[in-house]
Amino acid sequence: MTCKKETSLLEGPVRGTLVRFAAPIILSRVTTQLYTVADAMIVGLRLDANALAAVSNGTTVLMLFLFVSGGLELGGNLLAAANRPRTDWEGMSRLTYNILFVDLAAGLLMMVLGLWGMDWLLGAIRTPAEIRSGAALYGRVYLLGLPFLTLYDLSRQLVIGCGESRLPLRAVTVTSVLNICLDLLLVGPMGVAGAALATALSQVAGCAYMLRYLRRTLLAGPFRLHMLQREWFVEIMRLSVPNTVQQSAGTAITVVRQSLLGPLGVAAIAGFSSAGKISQLLLMPVFSLMQSLVVFIAQNRAVGQLDRAEEGVREARRILLCYTALVVAVCALGSRLLLGLFTRDQEAIRYGALLLSRECWSYPLTNLRHLQEARLRGRQQMGRFLTSNMVLIAMSMAGCLLLVPRMGFPGFYWAVYLSAPLGLALSTILARWNRQSSHSFS
């Protein structure tokens, strides 16, 4: 038995195959980001700027745990993609159980650590006193659903790795609608805790749905402890740890930025947070396309179709550049209008619009770097992928620490102007070096 309605990535016109596979993933991630945006809009408009800032700071702390989970999900996705073309149902079942076990253990551990360390972490990012209790409440309620969230997200990534991208879209759509409905029901009487509870409950529902689907498709029989294998654990760690480190290190720059925002006031925090959500929403198709490209490369390389894998990279680049030009135009011309969807606080709108309209000019360089890193991940060259990311994060962090204390809020986008071209140059060198090495051994 296999994942239903799999898209074959190994044959047919490359552009059409890649687009058909990527489209549901793009819609899934855009939908996920939309309910995140809806959370912020409902909190900002039904409560106030303080509540919006509290959710922003609570989310910053939660990202430390969510990105660890995200690394495991990306590792599981890549492992499923690389093994699906050459592994039978029994083998995929054992692999799936091993990944799910590791992910659940990580989710439970992160929940305990987060509940214990929430106050300290909020203090570490210099959360203003007037919003600290709200941020802590939001974070703790959210963490109660974290083990369900990790299993839900991993299950979707495993199914995508097998070549089925439409079922995860249906799951995300249902959970997103449920999340928004619960937001509207709970935020008014419960405040920021209602927003966190709405997300947790919707993720529990999504987890139950995806695990039921896996039981009918990828999983052969019930789980037994003897199914856990050291070899699979090592392979999971080989592919997941670099992604986890990269995702966690990415959180470090967010934490640094948040700590630098603290002295600038609540309006700066709210504006920065809202601009970030808009940017993430607009760029979500880019991240989704890159995720699709990773699976495409991994599956084709698994069966020796190296030229087809590189053709996929070229087609993805054309799509990427066209879409990026559209996003830059939207952000440059409509930043204040977009920020007005999140808050009525004019000072917060001013901060957010400034960041969004300036930082968007770096998107072409940043997105091309994502393309090069997707190429490295698809080839399972995780060391080079991690090197590219860690160097960029170090440059971004150094830029913020140097420029924001001297320039104030504009230092945030000037730091991006400095790091984006250097990051693209490094990732391009690493990807080309890898290509030459691959051809020399093929």
Q: What average pLDDT does the segment 100-129 reach?
A: 85
Check residue 326 and give its pLDDT. Answer: 95
Give the range with max mean pLDDT: 185-194, 225-234, 327-336: 327-336
Please tell me the pTM assigned to this model: 0.73
pLDDT at 7: 52
Residue with tokens 């609540």: 266
Q: Residue 242: CB partners within 8 Å, gap ≥ 6?
A: 71, 382, 383, 385, 386
- d(CA 413, CA 398) in angstroms, rounded, equals 13
Residue 251: predicted pLDDT: 62
| Pair of tokens at residue 384 | 């080079």
DSSP 367-412: HHHHHHHHHHHHTT-HHHHHHHHHHHHHHHHHHHHHHHHHH-TTHH
Q: Give the pLDDT score at 438.
A: 45
pLDDT on residue 440: 37
- Max avg pLDDT among 136-150, 177-191, 424-438: 136-150
Q: State pLDDT tens for residues 364-383.
A: 999 999 999 999 988 888 88
Per-residue pLDDT tens over the stretch 198-207? 888 998 999 9
pLDDT digits (tens, 9 = 90+) for 385-395: 888 888 888 89
pLDDT at 426: 94
- Calpha distance 84→163 (Å, rounded): 9
**Residue 359 pLDDT > 60:** yes
Share of residues in the chain with pLDDT > 70 (%): 91
**Is residue 318 pLDDT above 90, yes or no?**
yes
d(CA 442, CA 436) in angstroms, rounded, equals 10
- Joined together, the tokens standing for residue 166 give 């439409």
Mean pLDDT score of the chain, rounded to an integer? 83
190: nearest Cα among 125, 252, 138: 138
More confident residue, 372 or 229: 372
Q: How large is the average pLDDT for residues 326-333?
A: 94
Reported as a single tens digit per residue, the pLDDT across 36-66 is 777 777 777 767 777 777 777 787 778 778 7
The candidate with the shortest Cα–Cα distance to 241, out of 100, 393, 382, is: 382
Return the pLDDT at 436: 47
Where are the extended beta strands (E) located within 51-100? none
How far, in Å, are 245, 249, 298 from residue 428 at the CA level?
Answer: 21, 21, 19
Rounded CA-CA distance 197/144 in Å is 9
